[in-house]
Structure 1
Amino acid sequence: MNLQTSVLIIGAGHMGLVLGSRLKVLNIDYLILDKHKHVGDQWRKRYQGLTLFTPNKLNRLPGFYIPHSQGDYLTKDEFADYLSEFALHHQLAIKTNCHVLRVTHDGINGFSVFTEHGVIKAKQIVLATGAFNVPVKLFNGDTEFLQLGLEQLQSMNFKNQQILVVGDGASGRQIAKKLSDKNKVYLAQGKKRNLFPEHILGIKTFSLLKWSGLLKLPKNFNIAQFLKSRDPFPDTDINNEALIALGVDLKSRVVSVGDDCVTFDNGEKLAPDIMISAIGYKDDFSFIDIPKLYQDSNEFDISAAEKLGVFKIGQPWQHNRASGLICGAEFEVEKLLEKLNVLK
């Protein structure tokens, strides 16, 4: 496979698909690459029981129907199917099962994107790998207990196990809730979490946030900075009291993972059967082999990258609270189109 395109989009999540659909309408040459076998697999392979926390109306992709769900919120598989239908409806140019191994830039002719199936030449690159790219996890290779990361929880058919979930964000709390019916679950907590009510006056809170304009408030505004600092997420019966009622034992922060036990910051120790790391996600752009795009701290320099023709899209708080949400896709795509050289 040796191809050439004007805009190469890495990632066939909702941002990559919406961008591709816009470029197609504008008659701009593009190609979407995704490492998974099918569109939507990045959601299908996430942990069992995962649901979106935004109402279905806020999960509508531009120019497409409002997705429907069996329950109050879309499951990961329902949303995966929705993404697949969107790609099929728009007949998007996508190469799946195509893992990007390395990206280089020759300074003259643009980018060379090396994949398992050959090299693709591109004038500009868009990193649409999503807000939840690579799970972060604690690890000790010699433990006597089983260690699992979020990417290993597509099936969670555990029974009669002592399970420690490390990390009490939305994912950690959902996992603890799901596993508590057949197991003894411990949840290690770190910083204080801010949960907001699922409904206000009978209306889903996220719908009110969108209606009020708070989701699209520029990130440099004081109110937006306050929201970002608190980092709240909806309480779908995953608050501390609800989890305790289900039998979940709340623990303090994990400070070390030994061979046979885990130690918390209050000195307490626990020897679980299974430890699940749910402490968040990180970006991994190590496949971009362009030294001048990395600062002295090895941090990816997005300003230098954009000057060269490499852009991020769909990152949390890239422009506002909605940047990493599905409902922010249309706005983020339009902001990116202002930067792409193909429109100038």
Structure 2
Amino acid sequence: MELDTVVVGGGQAGLALGHHLRRAGVPFAILDAYARVGDAWRQRWDSLTLFTPRRFSALPGLPFPGDPDGHPGKDEVADYLATYAAHFDLPVRLGCRVTSVRPGTAGGFTVDTSTGTLRARRVVVAAGAFHTPWVPEVSDRLAPGVTQLHSSAYRNPEQLPGPVVAVVGGGNTGVQIAAELADHGRRVVLAAPAIGPVLPQRWLGRDIFWWFSRLGTMRLSAESRLGGRIAAQNPIIGTDVTGLLRRVDRVGRVVDVEGDALLLADGGRRRVDAVVWATGFRPRYPWLEVPVLDPSGAPVQREGVTDWPGLYFLGLPWQRTRGSAVLGWVGRDAEVLAARLAEDRRLPAPASAVAA
């Protein structure tokens, strides 16, 4: 089957793009490996709540239901995405896992999936940036009796046995999970050599994202001086870090393990019953058989456009601005890309890089 545009990924980026492609009259299909729209959100930890209030959490054309100043939980987000896809009757093919995207012999792309093979003139990779959980190699040497999991597999404190739990990582995810574990009476070791600047959820009676919206923070480019500083600092939003540090044992960098103990850069050691590795993700596109990835596996692109004709990305952090990977702002990037695709469709098809 031949399509004009295939969008890989049916999360917020793919759905926002679908909305704008439909408005622009561009034929497309969205391929998503999950059984339901929004399942990627449903699989996150039970108490996860967005930083952004509902008024700043909507995709183009459909307000987020509920108190506009309240903050939705992860299941609310999942249900909203499913409602969005149904409301605009977007052509999402669920249970359709992409196994290969490669240049077509006559131009365009061949897209192999778990449900068959497609041909497409253009492909937009909207599969997000958080693919492969990363944990340090030392984790392999922890004693078998120590329960350990990556933050992507964390759901609630009941998963973790024993009174002493280490959380390794000082980003937003790490401090949120550490706070929840401390709230449930665990003795938390927070291994966080650096914690970014802390921003309150509310300031001068307004949500911090109200200020971000008014000040243009979410429209900052990573290439701007201020945008570059924000990107490098990774601020903590909404967590009372000062209060948290009074309730946990904060330590520095983990350099090794020995049995059931974490060995620290300062020579200290902490015995633990469980570890949550809040150590982030690495990009991984094993199915993308087009030479647009750097040695680390990250896409080489500028504002979503690659050097390979017809191949684009959407929803990457700082792809165009601070808001590029944020639910309530990804629609702006989607609109720009949809306009480009619509204009490209009116032009003669570019010669295949293979044919060239």
TM-score by length of 2: 0.88
The CA distance in 1 between the partners of 2:82 and 2:52, in whole Å, is: 19
Match of 1:84?
A: 82
Gaps of 5+ in 2: 348-356
The CA distance in 1 between the partners of 2:161 and 2:260, in whole Å, is: 21
Aligned residue for 2:330, secondary structure, equals helix
1:14 maps to a residue whose letter is Q
Match of 2:354?
A: none
In the alignment, which of 197, 201, 204 is matched to residue 200 of structure 2?
197
Q: CA deviation at 1:155?
A: 4.2
1:151–1:225 CA distance, 2 compared to 1 (3 A):
closer
2:190 maps to a residue whose letter is L
Question: Do structure 1's residue 263 and structure 2's residue 283 form an aligned pair?
Answer: no
- Aligned ranges 1:212-291 → 2 under 5 Å: 212-237=215-240, 239=241, 241-245=242-246, 247-290=247-290
Gaps of 5+ in 1: none
Aligned residue for 2:243, secondary structure, equals helix
1:262-283: CA deviation from partner (whole Å, max 9, x where unpaired):
2111111223111111112222
Question: Deviating runs (4+, > 6 A) in structure 1?
Answer: none
Aligned residue for 1:225, secondary structure, equals helix
The CA distance in 2 between the partners of 1:94 and 1:31, in whole Å, is: 6
1:185-219: CA deviation from partner (whole Å, max 9, x where unpaired):
11110334111122221001111111121211333
Q: CA deviation at 1:293?
A: 2.7
1:106-149: CA deviation from partner (whole Å, max 9, x where unpaired):
35232111222221211111111124333322353353212201
The CA distance in 2 between the partners of 1:293 and 1:170, in whole Å, is: 30
1:187–1:23 CA distance, 2 compared to 1 (3 A):
same
Match of 1:186?
A: 189
1:233 maps to a residue whose letter is I
- Aligned ranges 1:1-344 → 2 under 5 Å: 3-68=1-66, 72-139=70-137, 140-144=139-143, 145-157=146-158, 158=160, 160-180=162-182, 181-237=184-240, 239=241, 241-245=242-246, 247-290=247-290, 292-295=291-294, 300-302=299-301, 305-340=306-341, 341-344=344-347
Alignment check: 8 A CA contact 1:160 1:182 kept: no
The CA distance in 2 between the partners of 1:299 and 1:315, in whole Å, is: 10
Number of aligned residue pairs: give it: 338
1:254 maps to a residue whose letter is V
Q: CA deviation at 1:71?
A: 9.2
Percent identical residues? 29
The CA distance in 2 between the partners of 1:71 and 1:271, in whole Å, is: 42
Alignment check: 8 A CA contact 2:96 2:115 kept: yes
Q: CA deviation at 1:259?
A: 4.4
The CA distance in 2 between the partners of 1:281 and 1:343, in whole Å, is: 38
1:46 maps to a residue whose letter is R
Alignment RMSD (CA, Å): 2.2
TM-score by length of 1: 0.90
